[in-house]
Amino acid sequence: MAQEIASACWLHPDLRTSVATLPGGTTNFIKRYERAGKTTDVSFDLLSPEALRMVISFLRDRSERAMRKRTVLEIVELLDVAARRWLDPGYAPRQKAISLISDITGFSPEMVAHAIDEEQSSSRGPHLRQALTNELGNPAFLDGFQPNRRLGGFSYALGPGLVGAIFSSNIPALPHLEVMRAFLTKSACLGRVSAGEPIFLALYAETLYELDPEVASCLAVIYWERGDDEREAIFLNEIGHLVAYGGDGQIKRLLNVKPPALEATLHGHGVGFTYLARGALNRRSLDELADKVSYDFTIFDGHACLCPQICLVETGGEVSPREFALACAREMGQWAKHLPPRRLDLSEAAAKYRVRELYLMRESPADDLEVIAAPDDHSYLIVLERPEQFEPSPMGRFFRIAPISGFADVERLIGPLKEYLQCASVVFGAEETDEHRLLRRRLAEWGVSRLVPPGIMGRPSMMWHHDGMPCLGKMVRWCDNELVSPDMLLEDKGLSQGV
């Protein structure tokens, strides 16, 4: 049966018409994805260098027009309506995205649906407004000069005009985050999708187009193959701000090839972990705690920088690390039912199989290694071990629980990871001691940029300084209109009322 082929790329119809006038403006090709017996074809359009330049100037032009005549709150409202649509289980593009992303990436449909719910819930209007307030003070600064009490004058925040985004594929249905950030700074967005998950952004663009074709004309979704230096160079030379996700190699390379003056927000590798102090380990809340930590080890099957790679559990609490691990074994089984594991390809499955079997052979209570749960369907693996040093998780719901005696062990295991530290789920228990406060500070000093309770590691708030950066704040440039000398600001507190 002939099926409509999904598109990875999206251009506004006006732009599409213009590009079509260029000889050889686009070259269409099909990528075939095969996983676990399912075949999915996705259509890609490769723009000629000339067409890419045309797209860029179109986006800049439209952002001048469309964004300027709207207030930032109107844009927030639009994004909110889009999020509401995507949250509706009956919304056809959502259903299409769930099925396609699942077929292409192997994530279970339940996991993709869950990811969309989580991400779009955080994309609702109140969250976006709050994020703007969090980073800019007053969202209206983006609409023109607004009174700035602390300055004793007026301030105006200007977006970069055109944000260029290079996406990764590890979290399903996430790329819209960068489109929102670009639009929230009243800038256009040119996104290069990842071949690993190429279809969500085009569907999201279509939603925006249905809601507001003019604003949607500030978005273009394109693709070029890795290693296509010519197109990448045009992209990097023409955008006003770069946002990129990727591995160490990709991020280092981009830093080398981007124009030195181009501002960039780069999201490289991250390592997350869970730390449970003994005060948190009591019988009364054991099941709830195990449920939440298990959820963190389930979400995205570990394929996100936000996900924990190790769970450090202090000994000496009312509940031992082993008892906690056994409680997690029950909960992981439940989560595997609610959010079934990714379908793996042969090599991934072979690697997962190997890790499991080697652990079963290694197990030795004398060496403090115990395999707590290794279900026959390989859906997850829980091991209790005392590693000498941190070892990255092979992912795929590999849940490593390390009994520790205290802060020194956290430092030994986590301290050396500085450059990669990102998200930590930490529970101290009812009573927070000076040591705990010190530890929290140390984690921040080591590089952790997000501390959360268990159960929400995979769902960052829009208010989070993503990887330690004010992502909206970083994109804007300020113009301040000062009306008084600085001395007067401190002397005359009544001044602010006058402005």
Partner 1 sequence: MERKFIRISEKVADFMRDSDRDRSPDQFNNLALEVFEYQYRTIKPYRRLCEHKNKTPETVRDWTEIPAVPADAFKHFTLFAGQPDQIAKTFRSSGTTDARNSSKSFFSDTGIELMNRSVIANAARMLFPDDRRTRILALAPNPEIAPHMIMVHGMNQMIGQFGDEGSRFCIGAQGLDLKSLLDELQQCEKHAIAVTLMGSSFGFVHLFDAMEEQGLRLALPDGSRLMDAGGYKGRSRELERAEFVKWACALLGLLPKRVVNLLGMTELASQIYDGAIARSVRGAASAMTMKEPPHWVRTRILDPTTLEFGDLREIREAHCPGLLRHLDLANVERPMVVQSDDIGVGCEIEEGFGFEILRRASGSEPRGCSLSVEEFSRSRPDSTLSVSL
- Segment near partner 1 (CB under 8 A); pick from 45-53, 212-220, 280-288, 393-401: 393-401
> What tokens were used for 37?
């017996």
- Segment near partner 1 (CB under 8 A); pick from 46-54, 58-66, 268-276, 485-493: 268-276
Among 85, 114, 127, 267, binds partner 1 (CB under 8 A): 267
Among 256, 284, 377, 434, binds partner 1 (CB under 8 A): 377
For residue 191, state whether it binds partner 1 (rule: CB under 8 A).
no
CB of 376 vs partner 1, minimal distance in Å: 8
For residue 88, state whether it binds partner 1 (rule: CB under 8 A).
no
Q: In what order do the strands lie in the sheet with 381-385?
A: 308-314, 398-404, 381-385, 369-373
Q: In the complex with partner 1, which residue's Cβ is closer, 360 or 499? A: 360
Report d(CA 299, CA 478) in Å as an integer: 38
For residue 361, state whether it binds partner 1 (rule: CB under 8 A).
yes
Phi, psi of 320 (to 5 degrees): -80, 160
For residue 351, state whether it binds partner 1 (rule: CB under 8 A).
yes
CB of 373 vs partner 1, minimal distance in Å: 11
Candidates 269, 216, 211; CA nearest to 245 is 269
Contact 282, 327 (CB under 8 A): no
Q: At what angle do helices 176-184 and 72-87 cross, to 10 degrees?
A: 160
CB of 371 vs partner 1, minimal distance in Å: 7
CB of 150 vs partner 1, minimal distance in Å: 36
Contact 402, 386 (CB under 8 A): yes
Q: In the complex with partner 1, which residue's Cβ is closer, 74 or 348? A: 348
Among 5, 20, 257, 358, binds partner 1 (CB under 8 A): 358
Among 145, 154, 407, 420, binds partner 1 (CB under 8 A): 420
Among 102, 120, 148, 169, binds partner 1 (CB under 8 A): 169
CB of 365 vs partner 1, minimal distance in Å: 11
- Segment near partner 1 (CB under 8 A); pick from 203-211, 257-265, 344-352, 474-482: 344-352
For residue 487, state whether it binds partner 1 (rule: CB under 8 A).
no
In terms of DSSP bridges, do strands 38-47 and 26-35 run parallel, antiparallel, or are they unpaired? antiparallel
For residue 411, state whether it binds partner 1 (rule: CB under 8 A).
no
Q: In what order do the strands lie in the sheet with 477-482?
A: 146-148, 153-158, 477-482
In terms of DSSP bridges, do strands 162-166 and 188-192 run parallel, antiparallel, or are they unpaired? parallel
Among 74, 323, 363, 370, binds partner 1 (CB under 8 A): 363
- Segment near partner 1 (CB under 8 A); pick from 14-22, 262-270, 431-439, 472-480: 262-270
Number of residues that bind partner 1 (CB under 8 A): 59
**Segment 443-482, which members bind partner 1 (CB under 8 A)?**
none
For residue 194, state whether it binds partner 1 (rule: CB under 8 A).
yes
**Segment 196-215, which members bind partner 1 (CB under 8 A)?**
196
Report d(CA 181, CA 254) in Å as an integer: 21
Q: In the complex with partner 1, which residue's Cβ is closer, 245 or 275? A: 245
- Segment near partner 1 (CB under 8 A); pick from 207-215, 314-322, 370-378, 489-497: 370-378
Among 15, 276, 307, 325, binds partner 1 (CB under 8 A): 307
- Segment near partner 1 (CB under 8 A); pick from 13-21, 227-235, 241-249, 478-486: 241-249
For residue 357, state whether it binds partner 1 (rule: CB under 8 A).
yes
Long-range contacts, 215-218 (Cβ 8 Å, 24+) = 215/66, 215/67, 215/70, 215/75, 215/78, 215/183, 216/12, 217/12, 217/14, 217/15, 217/58, 217/59, 217/62, 217/66, 218/59, 218/62, 218/63, 218/66, 218/67, 218/182, 218/183, 218/187, 218/188, 218/189
Report d(CA 30, CA 300) in Å as an integer: 27
Contact 324, 288 (CB under 8 A): no
Candidates 413, 380, 9; CA nearest to 200 is 9
Among 23, 24, 37, 90, binds partner 1 (CB under 8 A): 37
Among 335, 390, 428, 464, binds partner 1 (CB under 8 A): 390
Beta strands in 379-431 (DSSP E): 381-385, 398-404, 421-427
CA-angle at 196, arms to 190 and 199, nearest 5° = 55
- Type of residue at 441: R
- Segment near partner 1 (CB under 8 A); pick from 6-14, 283-291, 357-365, 404-412: 357-365
Among 79, 116, 171, 188, binds partner 1 (CB under 8 A): 171
Q: In the complex with partner 1, which residue's Cβ is closer, 168 or 187? A: 168
Q: In the complex with partner 1, which residue's Cβ is closer, 351 or 484? A: 351
Report d(CA 331, CA 397) in Å as an integer: 12
Among 352, 397, 450, 459, binds partner 1 (CB under 8 A): 352
DSSP code at position 297: H
Adjacent-strand bridge partners of 265: 243
Report d(CA 294, CA 183) in Å as an integer: 35
Contact 442, 296 (CB under 8 A): no
Interaction site with partner 1 (CB under 8 A): 36-37, 105, 168-171, 194, 196, 245-248, 250, 267-271, 302-305, 307, 309, 343-355, 357-364, 371, 374, 376-378, 389-395, 420
